[in-house]
Amino acid sequence: MARMHSRKRGKHGSKKPAKKTSPSWIRYKAKEVELLIAKLAKEGRTTSQIGILLRDVYGIPSALALCGKSVSAILKDKKIVPDIPEDLSALSKKYASITKHLEVNKHDETAARGLLLTGSKINRLVKYYKRAGRIPEAWKFDAGKAAFLAE
C-alpha cells in the first residue's frame, strides 16, 4: 500500500491468518467477549485499545473471528460508540501537539509541513465521515478544540 504523502510504498507488514475461524484453544464464548468489550468501552478505552487488551491480556486473537463482528460493530450494537471516531480524535491530538511544538520552535519547517499534512488528513477524514453519516453535516474541525483534546 502506498504512503499518503511521501510517494513511497512503505514496509510490508505481517498478515493475519487467511481463515477467519476462532482457534479451538480460546476459552471464552462470543457472548462473554461482547460483554467484556462493552465493559472495557465503558471504562473509556478506545476500540484499538480494546483489541490490544483482548489480544494481550485475555488471549483472544480476533474478536471478529470469535463473535462474527468487529469491536466497533459490537460497540455500535450496544450504542456505546463515541461521538468523534477514534482516528479523527487521534489526528486532532496530533495536530494540537504539533501546534504546541511550533509555538516554542517557530523555525521548525519540518513540523510546519507535518501540521499541513495532518490538517489535510483531518479534512479528508471529516469529509468521509460526513458522507458516511458518522458525524453531523454541520461539524467543523476547530484548532481550539484540538488543543483541548491534547491536554
pLDDT digits (tens, 9 = 90+) for 26-66: 899 999 999 999 999 999 999 999 999 999 999 998 899 99
CA separation for the pair 81, 72 (Å, rounded): 8
For the 86-150 domain, the top CATH level (class) is mainly alpha
Q: What is the residue extent of each domain of the chain?
A: 30-77, 86-150
**In the structure, what pLDDT confidence band is assigned to residue 151 with cuts at 50, 70 and 90?**
low
> Hey, what's the cell of 71?
469491536
What's the first-to-final CA gap in the chain, in angstroms?
A: 33
- Measured over the CA atoms of residue 74, residue 76, residue 81 and residue 85, the dihedral's sign is positive
pLDDT tier for residue 13 given thresholds of 50, 70 and 90? confident
